[in-house]
A and B are shown apart, each in its own frame.
Chain A
Amino acid sequence: MSTKNKIILLTHGGWGAALINSMGLLVGKPENVFEVALEPSFTLEQYIEKVQGAVGEVSNNTLVLTDIPGGTTSNVALRLSRRYPWHIISGVNALMLVEAIMHQEETLSDEVLAKILEAGQQSQKELRVPKQV
């Protein structure tokens, strides 16, 4: 039984699996981090069933990271929040996942959630080398 809090990725088509594996190179082999992919052919009901079948035990330290806010992945995470006391953040990216993994042994407080969200947001900027004088 892992002491690390559960992190669940919900993405369209399953690109999250590659993200999880790749981030392992930065923060070590991820533990208790997995994805439930939404296939294009799934109905809403099929995906809800798939998620419920895959998540196992959920606590209020469980974090769900979805790809698109307003997408079926996020809608299902929200629908199921009536049943599961998890926390959800949308727009998952590399550094957001890394931050989440780094806090995996802490309580998922509002502060920690804010740090995870911010890490994702802070990683997004236009990169340009300033003009050399």
Chain B
Amino acid sequence: MDITLCRVDSRLIHGQVVTKWVNQANANRIIVVSEELEQDEFMRSVYLMAAPPAVKVDCWGVPSLVAQKKAGGLDDGRILLILPDLKTLKSLVDSGLYTGEVQIGGLGGGPSRKVVFQNITLDDADVDILRGLEEKGMKIYFQTIPEDSPQALDKIIDKYEKE
């Protein structure tokens, strides 16, 4: 299983991903980790259309992803993994499927969420998840587009606490 980039972005497949990250990561395949999309054919089509023509797109929730791994469905391609939120990331890590580097690229606003970098916001639940993953030894950084310098997790958490 060749995951060239694992990105958390609540907008899933969109401008920044399509124009920058697919190329930067040299990916030829996108997997969106989402049970909602897995079950919704209409929505899946929307995101399939959003991806560049040569890139294969699959949408699977974590349980199906685990099943796919067993069945060899993740063996092909250089994969850009996209997750909508940190809850999904935790689920992915807990399943044992992936414990590599994670890029946090976009998490939108809402009540009790604080801006920590560009268009990325966090709340208490998010910070708990991030701390837990950090303890597991995972490398997590924040970066919206390749032109931005990646921001380290501890720096971001400090910023969150200070707000």
Give the B-binding residues of A (Cβ under 8 A): 12, 40-46, 68-72, 74-75, 78-79, 82
Contact = CB atoms under 8 A, between A and B. Distances in A.
The 8 closest A-B pairs by CB, nearest first: A43-B108, A70-B50, A71-B15, A78-B46, A72-B14, A70-B18, A40-B119, A72-B11
A12 B19 CA distance: 14
A3 B12 CA distance: 38
Nearest to A39: B119
A46 B14 contact: no
Contacts of B46: 75, 78-79
B60 to A, nearest CB: 19
Contacts of A46: 108-109
A104 B29 CA distance: 41
Contact of A72 (B15, B51, B52, B109): B15
Contacts of A44: 10-12, 108
Interface of B: 10-15, 18, 42-43, 45-47, 49-52, 108-110, 115, 118-119
Given A78-B46, A79-B46, A82-B42, A43 B18 contact: no
Nearest to B144: A40
Contacts, number: 53
B105 to A, nearest CB: 12
A19 B115 CA distance: 31
A46 B109 CA distance: 8
Given A44-B10, A44-B11, A71 B18 contact: yes
A48 to B, nearest CB: 11
30 contacts: A40-B118, A40-B119, A41-B108, A41-B119, A42-B108, A43-B11, A43-B108, A43-B110, A44-B11, A44-B12, A45-B108, A46-B109, A68-B15, A69-B49, A69-B50, A70-B15, A70-B50, A70-B51, A70-B52, A71-B15, A72-B11, A72-B15, A74-B50, A75-B12, A75-B14, A75-B46, A75-B47, A78-B46, A78-B49, A79-B46
B148 to A, nearest CB: 13
B64 to A, nearest CB: 22
A79 B45 CA distance: 9
Contacts of A45: 108
Nearest to B13: A70
A78 B46 CA distance: 6
B69 to A, nearest CB: 27
A100 B108 CA distance: 33
A40 B107 CA distance: 11
Contacts of B52: 70
